[in-house]
Each structure stands twice: as structure tokens, then as C-alpha cells.
Structure 1
Amino acid sequence: MDLSEKDNVENSWAHCISRVKTGVRVKDGLGEDYLEFKAELVYLNWIRGTIFGLLSIFAFGLIMLFDLHYYQTDKWEVSIGYPILFYSHMSVFMLLSGGIGLAWMKRPEKTERPSHYHHVLITAFLWLGMLNLVAISIADVLISGSTAAYIGMAFSFAAIFIISNRFCLFLYLSNMAVMVYFVNVAADYTGKDFGIQQINIVTFTVLAVALSRVLYYAHVRDFKNRKLIKSQKQRLLELSNKDHLTNVLNRRSFAEISEVETARSRRHAGPLSLIIFDFDNFKCINDQSGHSAGDAVLVHTAELIQQNIRKTDILFRWGGEEFIILSPETALEDAAALADKLRLLIEEYTFPHGVKATASFGAAQYTHGESIEDTIQRADKALYQAKTKGRNCVEQLPA
């Protein structure tokens, strides 16, 4: 193994260890989005479980009336399956009522991290619910030899709830084992052969697991696609708001940000200043050194300005070789001082290809009652004055 391969292996291990230390789980190809995906499943299963539970409470309430009817007609004396049915139906009814009550006492929110409370609640609800339905199926086997209730329940759970691989196997295989065991007990008790029923239980459990996995991974793909679309939209939004050459905010984003800043200035009665500048004789740079050199001047200027203004100051490319700086909480005199500092930095800076350049600056302060366009016009007039006075200077124009 050469040094580069060794470095790649070490970097891979270091990356994996760092992900483990930070609690990031790499699962189902979701990476750092796994917790958000799990939170979505908890919320989705809570919604589906609530609807399923309310409908089931109504259904099992009616079914228990039939159980009482069987009791009145002495059916309970015919087969032990009838009292098992009644108590199983009652158990499911109480489980659903209690589960829905606990779930609605603390409703989950749509967050990026799963609710541990609701995750445990849904897990317990699904396992106990299926176990009770297994008891109902055993009663049906004792009465009629049918496992239709178990099969229908297995497929219903697989189609309704989106659960992880590990819990899916535990849920279905544990209840399948319980079902197979008690079918054997029923066979010994009744003296009947339930071999075909056992084959059906295993076969349809495997099919239910397969259906559950198909729907789970379909949801994984859907989640990943939605995340991809969201990130692409975010990227497109960033591209639409940034200048493609200098990577600073563009004229379009200025309208949105300036509206927020002027509103803040009015609300807090704080100063807001604006600086506009462009290069002197920029056409000469393009003509003498080429357009690539001119582009390099713009790119390096954007970087230079960003490094020498406050975090609250915002740089925009206004168009061509013209830039605007929006300075919140800055009076006109301070904005002019900042402009002069930037002017000197540009004058002293040596751009790629040995290009030297200067820029002229105009500054104006936003006045409450005017529009930001009025402020821009005054800053632009100040810039024009700087140009007429010999360039490479700063002018300010009060309201």
C-alpha cells in the first residue's frame, strides 16, 4: 500500500470515527439525514396510528356486542375460542383507547429529531396490538380453523405503518413464533391437523415482511428525493441571489435586504448608510490587460472588501464594475470614513497580472420618509461628484 492509499484509508477511518462520536448514524444511505427521517416516520406513524386506532375502537366496540350475543346464546360453552375472542377484543379495545389517550396527551411536533416518547409509544402499541390480534386469530383457529385474521392483520400493519428493518423483523417474527406455537397447542387441544394453517402463517408472514420492506424503502427513496429537491431549490435560490463572477449578493437580493434594513432603521430610529463605488477608467484595464484581468480585479476587490467591512455590512455587485455597500447602524460620517479606508486598500492593492486600479466612492444616509431608491440616487450623485473632482476620492451627500 503506497502513502496515498494509506492516507485515504486513515482519512476514511477518521471520518467514520468522527461521525460515530458526533452521533451521526449512517443508515439506509441517509447519513446525517437519518434522524430527520426517523422523526418523520414517528410523526407519520402517529398520524396513521391515531386514525387506525379510532376506526378500530369503533369496530371492536361493535364486535364485542356480537361476543356478548354469543355468550347469551351459549356459544361460549361450545368452544373455548369464544371467551378468548371476547377477552382479546376487550384487550385490544382498552389498548387502543389507552394508546390514543397517551399519544394525544403529548402530541409530536414536526422536528428534525425524533420524539423518544412517541417512538417508544408507537413501538409498544404495534407489538402489543399485533400480539392481541394473534390471540384473536388463535381463537378463530379454535372455532373455525381459520388464520385469516392473522393474515389480514399482518398485511394491514405492513401497509399502514412504516417501520425500520430491525423492528420489522422483531415484530413479525416474534408474533409469527407465538402464532405457530399456539396453533400447535390448538391442534393438541382439538385433535385436528392445522399443518396447512402453519404453512400459511409462515408464508404470509414472509410476504408481509417483504411488503413492509418495499414500502419502507419506497419512503426512503421519496425522502431522499425530497431532500435533493429541497437542496437544489436552495442552491438555485442562492445562485439567483448571488453574482456568478464575484460570488457576492446581486442587485436582485439588494431589494429584499434593503427593505428589511430600512424597516429596522425606521423601527429603531437608527442610522443606515449606503456606499456606492466603481473603478476609475475600468475600460482601460480591459483594453490593456484583457477581460480576464478585468474580471480578476472585480473578484479580488469583492474579496478585499468582504475582509475589511463589518459582519453587519453587506456588499452587493450593482452592475458592471459598480458595487454597493449597505451599512446598518452607521452614520454618514462613519460611512465616508469606511469608504476612504476601502479606497486606500484598492489603491495600494496589486491585482493579478500586475494591474493597479483606483475607485471613486459616493456615500449617503437613508432618511426616514424616503425610499431606498432616493438614497441610492444621492449616493450616485456623490459618486458623480467624486468622478468630476478627479476620481480616486470619496464624496458624501447629506439629505
Structure 2
Amino acid sequence: MTVAATNWAGNIAFGAERFHEPRSVGELRRIVAGSRSVRAVGTGHSFNAIADTTGDLVSVAGLPRVVGLDERAGTVTVSAGLRFGELAEVLDRSGLALHNLGSLPHISVAGACATGTHGSGVANGCLAAAVRSVELVTADGALVTVERGAAEFPGAVVSLGALGVVTRLTLDVVPAFEVRQWVYEGLPTAVLRERFDEVMAAAYSVSLFTAWRTDRIDQVWLKARGGADAPGAWLGAVLADGPRHPVPGCPPEPCTRQLGVPGRWHTRLPHFRPDFTPSSGDELQSEYFVARANAVAAFDALDAVRARISPALQIGEIRTVAADDLWLSPAYKRDCVAFHFTWHPDAAAAAGAVEAVEEALSTFTARPHWGKVFAMTPEAIRESYPRWEDFCRLLGEFDPAGTFRNEFVARHFHAR
């Protein structure tokens, strides 16, 4: 009964009749088997009703903590409710790392993987790309493990919670590494257009922050593995003379260390530190994935409607994500550029801006982030996912009675 009644941002009030935080997998299995409608919730960082239900809402945060290293296999098995910040510290102490991390270390491993959440880097896949196996409780209370190589595996990783409640994940790990982070200010958008690939490949992870108000990118965050010191000027941008927060006017203390100071991978790849709440939650977020080959054209299309976007916007972020083979991943089978928008907490203003963004990207087969605010029709989304029918078939196999099929899932998928 300790599950939050709203999501992190407070824009979604969960409609569940009952809230559960089971303390064992056995207890979770009994809850699921006895429920006609159940959904799992992670850290609540989704901005739409993807986790909502009218029945039983279950948090896996109370399940026994598991961090099982297998150095010979190059994997770690973790309990689903573990947060990336917690996992990263354990891995680093063993000289290991994940290939990438998202902006926030506060989010749960299972929730991030289930929604295709990602970090940044032209060669870095989304967080779910590291998954080697997933264990979940299905509608009849059975405990099922799906491993990489199985026919259903590509549909079972980014599954939106629609196949069952994930209890454990096994992830690929790599040797730990150091990262240095610099922030540049004022990159001319003309340079970005001419040298987009060069800009985005300038470091292991690159993020562009823009308020979509001027002809310059406000900040470029470069996260580099080793290498020489950064020059004072780069492609017309100037090295920041102190730490920065990506949102104008916010103090930089919650952000990870900058100014090129070396640090462990998990203290630099996220934008925010795990010991700080990155913001009050007073925001809404949207994000759209476009093929990287269309990055400049998509940027121009958004720039053409910036007068409709910028009044509702706190800050925008542009990142790249490498292609993967997970059926519902927004980066499925195509290297992507992701256009992220952090809106002011005004639902009406955000809705108008989202409409402008989606109109601008309508010719680029954009895929919205599953856990953020979007208005695209199910038909438009379906057309951008070649394995959509295969996932619907998987829904029918795993959940024939629709136990996990809330309004969000039912709107976008039908069980075969």
C-alpha cells in the first residue's frame, strides 16, 4: 500500500483500486494470479498513462534486492526495481560498467528497459540493448524466463509491461571506464546543419540543449572517454567557464561534474547526480525518434515552428541512439536522432506545442517515446514499427485474457 498515487510529475493520478508492494516473488505471483487487471509501476517517471490500471497496481521496488555478477559470462542479474544509480555503484566497485546510462540515475532498470529509454552516443544502443534475459510473472502467476536467442525475445524486452510483471533482468556488462565531461555554449545552428555527424560523434556521448529560440544551440555536453583536454573554442562554440545546468536559471549543483575533471563512468554519463532530485517534477516531457539520416531535415522542420514550441518549453535536448533489434524500441533497425522536449507543467500549452512538433515531424516516420506525452494516432505509430503485428501475436500468447492490457495498451495493440 506504499505505491505512489501519482506519477513522478503529478500529471497522472493512478486509477487503481488496490496498490501493492510485494516483498517476495511468491507474493507477487499470488497477486497477479488473483487479479483480473494488473499493471506494474517503476519509479513513476512516465508522463502518460502507460502504467495506469483500474485494477491492481504493483510496485516491484520491495522485492528482494538482487545484484548477481557473472564475470565469466560478462553479465549482471538484477532485481527489476533496482535503480540505475544503485546498480552502477555495485558494478563499478567490481571494475565493471554498463555500456550507457540515461540522463537520470534515479529510474528503475525494469521500467527504463520496458519503455526503450536510452542514453546518448552514435554507437550506443538504448539501455534495453544490454538485456540478455528477462524474467517475468505472467497472467496465470507463472514465472517465465525469456533469453536472447529465443524467437520471442526481441518482443519481450521493450514490452511496455504488456506481457507480465518483470522481476529480474540479466544485462551485459563491460569493463569500467573513466569519462570527462565538458560543456560548450553557443554552437551556431548553421554549423550543426553542415557538420551534424561530426558534432554528434565528437565524444562517447553528446547532448545538445536548445530552447528553440535563437540560431545557436545553448549548450553542447560532451562526455569523452579519455583523450586530450578540450580547446577553449570548438566549431564556433565556447567552452563554459563553470558548471552548468541544462535548464536556464537552474543551479548546477544537481548536475554531474563538468570542466573536464576525470570521473568514473557512472558519475559522468548521466546528466544528474543520484544524491540530488534533478527537479521538483514540475514538468512534462515528450520525445521523438527520427532516422539519423534525416536529422538535419527534421531539425529544420522543428526550427521552422519554434515560435509554436518555445513558449511552452523549459529546454529541448537532441541526442543520438544506435539501432537495435527490439521490436518496440524507438531505435528498432535504424540509427536515430532523438528530439526531447521538457515542457512547463501546463498541459494545455504542452498539448499545443506537441501538436506543432508532430506536424513538423509527420513526414519523417517519427516514433514517440512510449513513456512520454504524445498525441500521434495508434495507426501512425503502427506504420513505423515493422514488427507491430508480431508483438500483437505475442500479446495473445502471453496474455490471452488481457490481464495486463490497460487502456493505453488496448488503444495501441490488439491481441492476435
TM-score by length of 1: 0.22
Q: When you count helix as a share of all residues, which structure comes out higher? A: 1
TM-score by length of 2: 0.22
Task: Find the structure with the greater CA-based Rg.
Answer: 1
Q: Which has the higher contact order (CA 8 A, sep 6+)?
A: 2
Q: When you count strand as a share of all residues, which structure comes out higher? A: 2
